[in-house]
Amino acid sequence: MTRFFYDGQNCESLNGESVLDTLIREGHQVNYSCKKGACKTCLVKHVEGELSTGSQRGLTLSLKRNHYVCACQCEPTPGLKLKSVLVQDLFIPAQIHSKEYLSDSVVKLLITSSEKLNHCAGQYINLRRFDGLTRSYAIANDPCSNEIELHVRRKYNGQFSDWLFNHASVGESLLLQGPWGHCCYSSAYVDDDLTLIASGTGLGPIYGIAKDAIKSGHRGEINLYHGAKNSNELYQHANLLQLMLENRNFTYHACIPPSQKEGALKLSRVHIGDPFDIATAHKPIKEELNSKSRHRVYLCGEPDFVTRGQASAFLNGVPLKRMHVLSFEYKDLRTVPR
Ligand code: FES
């Protein structure tokens, strides 16, 4: 058992517990989502005492300098003193500017904030609603816009996504934190061949990255693969076909599983099968290792999908440093009292 202090109160961690686990078990009001060091909704401030390795991993320099710590990554050390953070220190006011349903289960939101954010497609933000519930969402639009575009899938029993999908209205006030993450396009990649692979609403950031690359005058090939459960979930099919018609170096590949083959008949240019298999068959990366063009892979979607994509790309000769990933890490909190 290790004793540490949170807002001056005595906390006792059990073996193997993180600071966050202890705070939750002892009934403190703390925010959290992924519990994996990714979302940064669980930040607390370090006051005194030894910090365990990794407590600040993944934080920006300015957060580190200001003594923020991820409670889920921090192992309690004897005598460690931490304090809660003020919402206004980390969040800025924001508002839902518009809301558009893209399919039966996906809504597009445009969010405006009180300050201009230097965001890019492929990063993510945290949104906090009136009761303190906070969730991370991937950014789907390029840096030129003042608004942040999000594609939100209504998750079965997902508290925040269901609220955004069904109840939150235009003008709704929120708080916003971020942007975070590095899964972005850079003009340094202008001659690289890009393979962009998304599952579900991972398409939002992937589509944004493609548009960002095209706008930046990308010269290499861009292949975008969207893996969907069925044809109804190919929610940007027409727009992506149009983008393909307008740009010679951009190709869109819709992918749905063999069990949904029937539904695909009504749409043009839909592949049947796994997006990784289709991507590998279409563009065998290993064969290109000796050519001048470099291959770069972007992966966005659920954690299992991203992990599988990384393994597939690696086995096909893409080094890790040329993979850019945005994994929708979250913890199912439905059985955990908040
Ligand atoms: S970073 Fe700690 S809960 Fe996500």
Mean pLDDT of 93-97: 96
pLDDT range class, residue 336, cuts 50, 70, 90? very low
Q: Is the pLDDT confidence value at 285 over 80? A: no
8-64, pLDDT tens digit by residue? 999 999 999 999 999 999 999 888 888 988 888 899 999 999 999 999 998 988 899
For ligand 1, residues with CB inside 6 Å are 32-35, 37-42, 70, 72
Every domain range in the chain assigned CATH 3.10.20.30: 2-86
Residues of the chain with CATH 3.40.50.80: 187-327
How far apart are alpha carbons 2 and 55 in whole angstroms? Answer: 16
Minimal-distance CA residue to ligand 1 atom 3: 35
- CA 31 to ligand 1: nearest atom: 3
CATH number of 187-327: 3.40.50.80
For ligand 1, pick from 22, 24, 33 the residue to mutate: most ligand atoms within 8 Å of CB.
33
The three-class DSSP label of residue 276 is helix
Distance 22 CA to ligand 1 centre (A): 14
CA 32 to ligand 1: nearest atom: 3
Query: Would you say 163 and 190 are in contact if contact means Cβ atoms under 8 Å apart?
Result: no
Which of 198-202, 290-294, 334-338 shows the lowest per-residue confidence on average (mean pLDDT)? 334-338
Instruction: State how far the Cα of 236 lies from the Cα of 336, in Å rounded to an integer.
Output: 35
Residue burial 218-238, b: 16+ Cβ < 10 Å; e: rest:
bebbbbbbbbbeebebbbbbe
pLDDT tens per residue across span 102-119: 999 999 999 999 888 889
**Domain 91-180 falls under CATH 3.10.20.310:** no
The CATH 2.40.30.10 domain(s) of the chain lie at 91-180
In this structure, which topology does domain 2-86 adopt according to CATH?
Answer: Ubiquitin-like (UB roll) (3.10.20)
The 10s digit of each residue's pLDDT in 223-279 is: 999 999 999 999 999 999 999 999 999 999 999 999 988 877 778 889 999 999 888
Closest CA to 142 of 209, 97, 190, 96: 209
Q: Residue 93 belongs to what H/E stretch?
A: strand 92-101
For the chain, how far is it from start to end, CA to CA, in angstroms? Answer: 24
* Atom of ligand 1 at shortest range from CA of 136: 4
Instruction: Tell me the CA–centroid distance for residue 17 and ligand 1, in Å.
Output: 14
